[in-house]
Amino acid sequence: MDRIGVVGCGLMGAGIAEVCARAGLDVVVAESSRAAADMGLERLEASLTRAEAKGKIISAADVLARVRVVDDLAALADRELVVEAIVEDEAAKIELFRRLDEIVVSPDALLASNTSSIPIMKLAVATSRPSHVLGVHFFNPVPVLSLVELVPSLLTDPEVTERARGFVEGVLGKKAIDCQDRAGFVVNALLIPFILSAIRMLESGFATAEDIDEGLVRGCAHPQGPLALADLIGLDTTKAVAESLYEEFKEPLYAAPPLLNRMVDAGLLGRKTGRGFYTYAS
């Protein structure tokens, strides 16, 4: 698979496009508008410039030359693999997969979702090719973290899963783990209850945000605390994943705490808005 498509050029989409281009692949990224495409291209340029400065790549310009950022889904028609990386909204993703099914020409092309928690089956049955739909879940920041979760649905052809594994490990040089098609897969099914527990601890006044995070960093050797991690993920995404998990399992540990709901309502989404559990410089 040499011709790769990515839908969405936010943090995750830009990261996926970057690692594909750094692997020497031809990448087309589709955004919803010209303004969003321009912002996505700026995000890619900034990341590649940092990578060049750190000696991770030889030339940011050479990598960027392998990427086109467009505002038209039709540009993905000839792609051999398309990875969806849009907002974590089930209805929006289902509609996108319906459109990709109409647009992507090759019946052998893989249609993949980077969803954090939405069951892949719901996306697969929106297409006429459910055997070629699966989850390929990267982690943020994509150029740094080596893990990818592979999530076939009950209808995914095993050969398609193996093609995806070969791409992730053989081409991108990342490590793939296998997950069942259950909300949250492996990592988020463990991580989100942990983050929600930290939010409840803060909400109850049991400890400050700083002490909660410091405790996990210094006491458990975590690279960052759960509240700082929630800010990095985005509190809206954290809430969306929690809701998907709760919808699937109906377990109290997956229920979003009131504080998280209020912060999302207020637009305090973490690093991307400059304020979440902590305040960040613009």
Catalytic residues: 116, 137, 149, 188
Q: How many residues does the chain have?
A: 282
**What is the three-class DSSP state of 16?**
helix
Q: Is the dihedral of CA 172, 178, 181, 182 positive or negative?
A: negative
List of long-range contacts for 49-52, beta carbons under 8 Å, 24+ apart: 51/18, 51/22, 51/143
Q: In this structure, how many other beta carbons lie within 10 angstroms of the beta carbon of residue 13?
A: 26
Is residue 84 a contact partner of residue 118, using CB atoms and an 8 Å limit?
Answer: no
DSSP 210: H
Q: Is 90 left (phi over 0), alpha (psi -120 to 50) or beta?
A: alpha
**Residues 75, 77: Cα–Cα separation, whole Å:** 6
Q: How far is CA 232 from the centre of its chain?
A: 12
**What is the three-class DSSP state of 57?**
coil
**Residues 74, 271: Cα–Cα separation, whole Å:** 32
**Residues 195, 237: Cα–Cα separation, whole Å:** 12
Is residue 69 a contact partner of residue 32, using CB atoms and an 8 Å limit?
Answer: no
